[in-house]
Amino acid sequence: MSDPIVGNPALNLSQNAQNNEWTCVSWFKKISDAVASKTSLFFGRVVAALVTVVTFIPSLGVDLVYAAKSLYDRKITKLQAPAPNLPVIPGAKVQWRRYIHDDDVKATMERYDRFLAENLTHHPNEIPKAAEQQLDKAAKGNIPIELITEDGVKTVKLHKGLGGGGSKTFYDIGDGQALAMIKTSYQFYDELMMLRYLEKLGIPTNEIKPAVIRWEFESTKYTKATYIAPSFSEYPKQNAFVVDHKDCDKLAGQLNGRKVLPAGQDAFKLENWDEVLNPLVNDIRTLIDNGISTLGDACNAILVGKGNKFHSGGQADFEARAFPFDFSSKAEQYDQLPVIKRLKAKEEQRTLKAYIEQVVFVQYDAKACFLPEKWKELAKDLTKRYLRRRNFL
């Protein structure tokens, strides 16, 4: 006999042979022979059959229950997030613990972390409620605040609100810039992280930068982290239009009658959309293949005209591109980037349809609240046209 593999015990062949004797068939035969020796062969087989039904088959049922439970447990088990790989900064009021797999994005976030560590003097939990209320007054334009960025410090007043949602509001601070006032402290960081990742992937997005606001209350200066961004009203100056149906009247005013397709082209001839939509389709495939879901608030498109840096240089006067933003959530924060390695084919179909509908809206009527059934069918047909003809995980 050959030597056993190192680390594993040698087989006990005699014990194994004894175990092999106790198969289902041999067990049935032993019971049958034992009963037959006292009665008859026929009666022995009847008794063996009854014992098998009563004991063996129910045990199989129990095994199936435990097997199903094991499979269910494996199905709902979530992958454990990797350990954070952003360095801890000694003395920083807030440590932004994330795992970022991309070296370029990680390097940018490390730079942001150093900027924040140098300028944040309070943890969010250390700011008194009364001081927060003082900041609310500044949001009405009554009180000047200091704005600290990587470029320096300046005093600003918050002018009119530019819109937002339940967890953040943007304010005009002049020079074509908007300042985000955010309710949950980590949201600004998640947004910075996600949008930097999109830039790395070549996806157009709002070019936000980290900022710290500083204000005074009862002789103490408090600080809070946020970000600044170009105001959407600046994009038309660069021949680009953010498709924002939350403010369709403003979008229609900016477009001033412009359509996606050239005048005279039949919108219901699918091939007429190829030059316009191919850049958008490529963006969506990149997002899906890199595990980035943009369904929901983050699903936003932008129309870019010739001369704009996001235009491919193709024949179309206007091209549609993905323009995702507003990833952060007040309910939960990210622990890694990307959150998922790759999204499923069904998500690609839903994402493609959501973006294409936004572009079709502009071609139909930028001010419309609903698409007529004929235009909805057009969006469905275009989705089928550009959907990848393969299944992938």
Task: Return mean pLDDT, the chain.
Answer: 80
pLDDT score recorded for residue 80: 56
pLDDT of 266 over the 70 cut = yes
Question: Which structure tokens are listed for 46?
Answer: 């009847």
Contact between 232 and 301 (Cβ < 8 Å)? no
Cβ-based neighbour number of residue 208 at 10 Å: 20
User: What is the average per-residue pLDDT within 157-173?
Assistant: 77
Nearest to 189, CA basis, from 130, 249, 124, 252 = 124
d(CA 208, CA 337): 18
Distance (Å, rounded) from C-alpha 5 to C-alpha 294? 52
148 φ/ψ angles, rounded to the nearest 5 degrees? -110, 120
Return the pLDDT at 359.
95
C-beta of residue 121 within 8 angstroms of C-beta of residue 149:
no
C-alpha distances out from residue 175 to 88, 123, 178, 229, 232, Å: 35, 30, 9, 11, 12
What is the per-residue pLDDT across 28-75, written as a single tens digit (0 to 9) for each? 566 666 655 667 666 666 655 665 555 655 555 555 554 444 443 433
Which amino acid makes up residue 128? P
Q: Which residue has the higher pLDDT, 124 or 360?
A: 360
Q: What per-residue confidence (pLDDT) applies to 252?
A: 81
More confident residue, 342 or 294: 294
Q: What is the pLDDT of residue 70?
A: 45
Residue 6 has pLDDT above 70, yes or no: no
CA atoms within 13 A on the CB side of 154: 10
CA distance 316 to 234: 22
Question: Residue 275 phi/psi, 5° resolution?
Answer: -65, -30
Query: Which pLDDT score, from 0 to 100, does residue 392 have?
Result: 45
Residues 6+ apart with CB under 8 A from 149: 209, 210, 211, 212, 228
Is the pLDDT score of 341 beyond 70?
no
Average pLDDT over residues 80-101: 84
* Residue 39 DSSP one-character state: S
Mean pLDDT of 113-118: 94
Tokens standing for residue 342: 């790759």
Query: Can you read off the two tokens belonging to residue 188?
Result: 């600004």
pLDDT tens string 117-161: 999 998 888 899 999 888 887 777 778 889 999 999 999 888 777
Report pLDDT digits (tens) over 223-258: 999 999 998 889 999 999 999 777 777 888 888 888
Which among 113, 125, 119, 121 has a CA at the least distance from the CA of 89?
113
d(CA 236, CA 187): 28
Given a cut of 50, is residue 376 above it in pLDDT? yes
Burial of 163 (0-12, 13-18, 19+ CB in 10 A): middle
Quick one: which H or E segment has residue 385? helix 373-386
The most confident of the ranges 112-126, 154-168, 266-280, 337-351 is 266-280
CA distance between the termini of the chain: 47
Is residue 389 very low, low, confident or very high in pLDDT (cuts 50, 70, 90)?
confident
| pLDDT surpasses 80 at 162 | no
Question: What confidence score (pLDDT) does residue 298 get?
Answer: 84
Q: Which residue has the tokens 């995980």?
A: 393
What number is the average pLDDT over the span 98-110?
Answer: 91
115 CB-near residues (< 8 Å, 6+ apart): 150, 210
CA atoms of 99 and 208, how far apart (whole Å): 21
Question: Residue 262: which of 311, 322, 318, 301 has the closest Cα?
Answer: 318
What percent of the chain stands above pLDDT 70? 74
Tell me what pLDDT residue 35 has.
57
Give the pLDDT of residue 330.
Answer: 64
Contact criterion met (CB below 8 Å) for 343 and 300: no
